[in-house]
Amino acid sequence: MKPRTPKSFAAALTKIMAALSNERCAEIVGRSDSLIRKWADPDHASLPTLHQAIALDIIYAKEGHGNPPILDVYEDILNDTLDARDGDIVDILMSTLSVQGVVGDLSEAIKAALDPTGPGGADITPRERQTILQILDRLEDQTDLIEDAIEDDEEKP
């Protein structure tokens, strides 16, 4: 298997294929198994359409495999690009609203993990633990943005 660069669409697609199988991914998007493998090849130029990527991410997440990998890569690319902007002010209000959304995701994940009818009963499974930790990372990223914005505002005359 070829090495995949983290934060790449090829790595995200490989992760989805490992969880769902090549054949299932092909069925979800209505394309051939060989095309699905090409999407996961970092040396191949083809990629899924936005609708195909969303369909794969939705099934992956709905079946409890964790956060949608393609969305995570897309968010990372956007965040890296936005973080690289010099002198742009972070909107504190929007960042605060984002925190509330992430806290909602965290609450839902914890509630589901502790649900006695869930996969691990009232105990948190390794997959649920991973999901909760990923959400906590997102929460930390959002609070860091607010902290940076407040510190930047403090430095102004």
- Spell out the domain ranges in the chain: 1-80, 89-154
3-state secondary structure of 41: coil
Number of helices (H) and strands (E), helices first, in the chain? 7, 0
Res. 14: pLDDT tops 60: yes
Q: Which two tokens mark 12?
A: 């995200």
Residues 53-74 have pLDDT tens digits of 999 999 999 999 999 999 999 9
pLDDT at position 90 is: 56
At 73, is the secondary structure helix, strand, or coil? helix
**What is the Cα–Cα distance from 88 to 64, expressed in whole angstroms?**
37
Q: What is the pTM of this model?
A: 0.54
Rounded CA gap, 75 and 144, in Å?
16
Three-class SS of residue 10? helix
CB 28 within 8 A of CB 59: yes
For the chain, what percent of residues have pLDDT higher than 90?
58
| Predicted local confidence at residue 149, as pLDDT | 75
Does the pLDDT at position 85 exceed 70? Answer: no
Rg (CA), the chain: 18
> Are the CB atoms for 34 and 60 separated by under 8 Å?
no
Q: Looking at residues 71-85, what average pLDDT do you find?
A: 81
Question: Looking at residues 113-134, what average pLDDT do you find?
Answer: 92
Nearest to 54 by CA among 33, 31, 74, 78: 74
Q: Are the beta carbons of 69 and 19 closer than 8 angstroms?
A: no
Average pLDDT, the chain: 86
